[in-house]
Amino acid sequence: MTYKQWLATTRYGIRSFDEIDEVDSLYVMTFSTGAPLLINHIADLKSPEKKLKGAVMISAAIKAKNRLAFLAPAAQYFVPWSTVFPEEDAVRYETFSTHAAAEFYKLTKNLLDKKYRFKLPLFIAISADDDTVSAEAALKYFCSAETDTKRMVWYQHADTNKKEKLAYFDEGKGACKQNIFVREAEEIGLPDYYKSFAHTALSVPPSDPHYGVNGAYKQCKHYFEDKDFKEFEECKRAVLPSFVVGETTDSFKERYGGIKSIRRGVYNPDYETMETEIFSFIGSID
């Protein structure tokens, strides 16, 4: 499947609301790759969508975090799988094909060009620690959006690399700063074990029966390369206070590895605040 087929499916889904009389206004919410699909869809339109009023993008994938992502289109012919893990997640894939990475790169490679600047009301929630997509690219895209109605929730932590914190980026110091709501982990009353916000966490409430606080799924696959799977199994079985939750960046693993089991976050303990911001944003649109 190609990114053009992904786009065709996106167009079909959005345009299907044209035939529903009960829907007057459409706000599209995306997670991760949904963002570039929506952006490309709008950029390719010859005339504006009549019902589409705005977008909410969670963990917006404007650009891959991996600087070698540009190699994926060639690498797919030699290395079919970027990662191979046991499929234990009931909803998301665990194993990732290099072909999918190649199509993602093609989909996103020009998103910071002027052609793709967003002109509709825009909401983005992103974590500075995101280890899957570039938070910096999401910030640049947000600040370049050609709309007066935009809002961002930016999550960061005291341990966030200083080069990834909002204050490091010129965009965050300029005119768009007034539209950015910074959520510093230490200041919002998180549980002691919850250290930073992962790419996989922002869109999921703590009450979710699969991913939430009491959910059955524990994201420990970064331990899977351990040949005897000891740390992998220990991570899944761990009870407090023997584990921490966060984004599995190299710096995070260096800080806590060998001290506690590390689980990648799959739910957002600040979900209610983010949800309130989303409803407030939608309510502000004329």
> Each residue of 233-255: pLDDT tens digit?
999 999 999 999 999 999 999 99
Lowest mean pLDDT among 140-144, 162-166, 211-215, 250-254: 162-166
**pLDDT over 90, % of the chain:** 73
Residue 171 confidence (pLDDT): 78
> Each residue of 168-187: pLDDT tens digit?
888 777 779 999 999 998 88
161 pLDDT higher than 80: no
More confident residue, 173 or 24: 24
Q: What residue ranges define each of the domains in the chain, with the CATH number in brackets?
A: 3-190+270-283 (3.40.50.1820)
The SS3 call for residue 219 is strand
Report the amino acid identity of residue 222: H
Residue 138 confidence (pLDDT): 97
> Each residue of 44-81: pLDDT tens digit?
987 778 899 999 999 999 999 998 898 898 999 999 88
Write down the pTM of the prediction: 0.94
State the Cα–Cα distance between residues 43 and 229, nearest whole angstrom: 46
CB within 8 A of 192, min separation 6: which ones? Answer: 241
Question: For 13-29, what is the mean pLDDT?
Answer: 93
Structure tokens that stand for 259 in this block:
């001290």
Question: For 251-261, what is the mean pLDDT?
Answer: 90
Query: E strands, the chain, where?
Result: 26-31, 52-58, 81-83, 96-97, 122-127, 150-156, 180-184, 243-246, 261-264
What is the distance between the terminal CA atoms of the chain, rounded to a whole angstrom? 38
- Per-residue confidence at 227, pLDDT binned at 50, 70, 90? low
Residue 225 confidence (pLDDT): 74
DSSP 127: E
DSSP 45: -
Average pLDDT over the chain reads 92
Helix axis angle, 3-15 relative to 98-108, nearest 10°?
60
Q: How many CA atoms lie within 13 A of 253 on its CB side?
A: 9
